[in-house]
Amino acid sequence: MEFIDEELLRYSEDHTSPESELLHKINRQTHLSVMKPRMLSGHLQGRLLSLYAKMIQPKQILEIGTYTGYSALCMVEGLQPGGTLHTVDINEELEERVRGYFDESGYGESIKLYIGNALEIVPTINEEFDLVFIDADKINYARYYDMVVDKVRPGGYIIADNVLWSGKVLEKYRKKLDEDTKAVLDFNLYVHQDERVENILLPVRDGLMIARKK
C-alpha cells in the first residue's frame, strides 16, 4: 500500500537531499539481486534517519536488522568521532555483501556487524545507546524494545520501522488478523502507553514509531 500519491512521493524525493553514490548503488543492487527489496529503507526514509542521527549526534547506535546495510550507512553519518554503530542481522548469506559496502563507505572501522539472533547478541553489548533502530521480524518487536529500553540513555531515541505494516494496522486494509499484524498492533499500543517514553508515529513510507526516553 502506498500512503501518498506516487507523484507526490516523487516530488518529495526530488526536493530531498540526494543519496550518496554508494547508497544509490546499494539501493539499485538490492532491488536487482536480493530477496524482498522493499525491506530497504530507501532514499526518503534514509535521509530522515541521517538527519535524526545528525541532530542526536550519537556516540553509540544500535540497529536490529541490518539487511543490506543502507539504513546503517545513513545513521552512521551522524555518529560522533570515535563512536560506534552496532548492527545485528540473522541472515549470514548477506554478510559478505554488507561488509563490502561498509568497507567501501569509509565508515567501516566505526561499524560492528554481528551475525546471529539479536535477542542473544544485544544483551552481550555492554554499551549505553543514544539511538536504536529496530527493523527486524515483527513478532519480536516488543521483545526487542523491552530488551533495549533500559540500555538507552535518558534523552535517547528508539525508532521502529514498518509500524503501519502496509496499512494493515487498519481493519479495512487486511483480509485477516495474522500474527505479524497483531504483533505490530500490540507493539504500537505498548510504546504509546509506556510512561518511560514520549512518542510519535510518523506515516513516512511504512510508518516510523519514534520514542524518546524520558
- For the whole prediction, is pTM greater than 0.75? yes
SS (H, E, C) 23-40: HHHHHHHHHHHCCCHHHC
- Whether residue 38 lies inside any domain: the answer is yes
Radius of gyration of the chain (CA): 16
Parent domain of 131: 6-213
Residue 9 — very low, low, confident or very high, per pLDDT cuts 50/70/90? Answer: confident
Is 1 part of any domain? no
Question: What are 145-164's pLDDT values in tens digits?
Answer: 999 999 999 999 999 999 99
The SS3 assignment for 170 reads coil
Q: What is the pLDDT of residue 63?
A: 98
Q: Please compute the mean of the pLDDT values over residues 84-93 and round it to a whole number.
A: 97
pLDDT above 70 (res 3):
no
Within-domain flag for 47: yes
Task: Report if residue 129 sits inside a domain.
Answer: yes
Number of domains in the chain: 1
Lowest mean pLDDT among 40-44, 85-89, 191-195: 40-44
CATH of the domain at 68: 3.40.50.150
